Amino acid sequence: MEKLDNASWIHQQELEDPLKKYLNSTEDYLAFLCGPQRSHLFLPMSVVYALIFAVGVTGNVLVCLVILRHQAMKTPTNYYLFSLAVSDLLVLLLGMPLEVYEMWRNYPFLFGPVGCYFKTALFETVCFASILSVTTVSVERYVAILHPFRAKLESTRRRALRILGTVWVFSVLFSLPNTSIHGIKLHYFPNGSLVPGSATCTVIKPMWIYNFIIQVTSFLFYILPMTVISALYLLMGLRLKKDKSLEASEATANLQRPSRKSVTKMLFVLVLVFAICWAPFHVDRLFFSFVEEWTESLAAVFNLIHVVSGVFFYLSSAVNPIIYNLLSRRFRAAFRNVFCPSCKQWHSQHHTQRPPTQRNIFLTECHLVELTEYSSPQFPCYRLQEAWILSEWTFLYASGLQVGTAHNLCLGM
């Protein structure tokens, strides 16, 4: 998120002969041109950002670890979530410290033109990569729900990696227009001499170019994708509701429906939170791009939106691991195993002590799934549909015999 010039000071530049009372001091003149050097919200915002940083970095590192270290978690859907976690880590580790520093010392900008380009390109790239990753995982879920047989043939890890490579390449390319119009701006006294310490990273091209880029990218990378995603989840909801009346055996219906709903529910919550967190960011940019004549009231509204958008922007990078932990049993179990490896060992020993009859039934059902549906060498007990993921063991007690269905280990997310 590029740091825009404080809009509350724009209207002052239009006053008649305003420079006389500011020329006595370089600091006063800089404050007149660029606003206060340190934000009055520096302390409270730093505390909030530090909290978001700790939660976000810990959570996203855990997401990356459980996907990389657990073979069961290396699925196409989780690869998109891995991409989202990497994007969030880039924002938190590289973007947030620079943002906090600029709140403490807004000028001069110490990192030169390269640092200015890097900062702008970073935020633009992760912005585009995040929305494209969320859109892609929503399309994948739509295909899995409405066209399950097509998903079985096309949804592979290699294909997911190719798509993600394309997503990041496009994100970098689309970040270039906005990056190219930014640079280091120097300020001068009326007599033409350079104002010391006045270097700022801001828009150096005509503002109409910036306004046009912001309006186009906000439409292409927020409004349009969220409209498409909303339509997809509406169609998925209608299909899941219709599935209740499909002609299928009761056992198959009970096996599929809860997991299909649970996965779709988790991704729906993920998209909803994403939309809410990123809305202020785009409102902030669009507000700035559409206002032509600033007034004191407009500047006050913009400053408020700017603060709120910053908090929600970084909050979106920290909240996803919390969603996974709350709504995904597989992620929750994987997180526990990272913190407590002995718990995983106990869990394995616990399952090896099951009666031989029960284990044989599990293996029989497992191979039945492999024979009747597509499988992979890594996943001998693969899903009947992609939507079977996140299911728990269900135990049926009949005639005193405990029977376990195999779909808990059928690998999905």
387: helix, strand or coil? helix
* Gap between the Cα atoms of 126 and 1, Å rounded: 10
DSSP assignments along 204-230, one per residue: -S-HHHHHHHHHHHHIIIIIHHHHHHH
Could you read off the pLDDT of 44-81 as tens digits, one per residue?
A: 999 999 999 999 999 999 999 988 888 878 888 888 88
Annotate 311-358 with DSSP letters as a single string.
HHHHHHHHHHHHHHHHH-HHHHHHHHHHH-HHHHHHHHHHHHTS-HHH
Domain boundaries, the chain: 7-338, 345-408
Handedness of CA 347, 348, 351, 352 (dihedral sign): negative
DSSP 111: S
How confident is the model at residue 336, as a pLDDT?
82
Please identify every stretch of the chain with a pLDDT value under 50, giving residue numbers as ranges: 1-16, 247-258, 345-413
- Structure token digits, residue 71: 């073979």
Spell out the residues 6+ positions from residue 39 whose beta carbon is closer than 8 angstroms to its own.
Answer: 45, 103, 104, 106
Q: Which residues contact 129 (CB under 8 A, 6 or more apart)?
A: 83, 87, 167, 168, 171
Which among 138, 208, 123 has a CA at the least distance from the CA of 174? 123
* Per-residue pLDDT at 408: 35
Put residue 196 in one of left, alpha, beta given phi > 0 → left and psi -120 to 50 → alpha.
beta
Provide the pLDDT for residue 401. Answer: 36
DSSP 380: T
Measured between alpha carbons, how far is 319 from 63 in angstroms, rounded to an integer? 12
Among the CATH numbers 2.40.50.140, 1.20.1070.10, 2.40.50.100, 2.40.50.110, which is that of 7-338?
Answer: 1.20.1070.10
What three-state secondary structure class fits 62? helix
d(CA 12, CA 124): 30
Q: What share of the chain is helix, strand, coil (3-state, %, to 5)?
A: 75, 5, 25
Q: What are phi and psi of 334, to 5 degrees?
A: -65, -40
The pLDDT of residue 151 is 62
DSSP for residue 391 = P
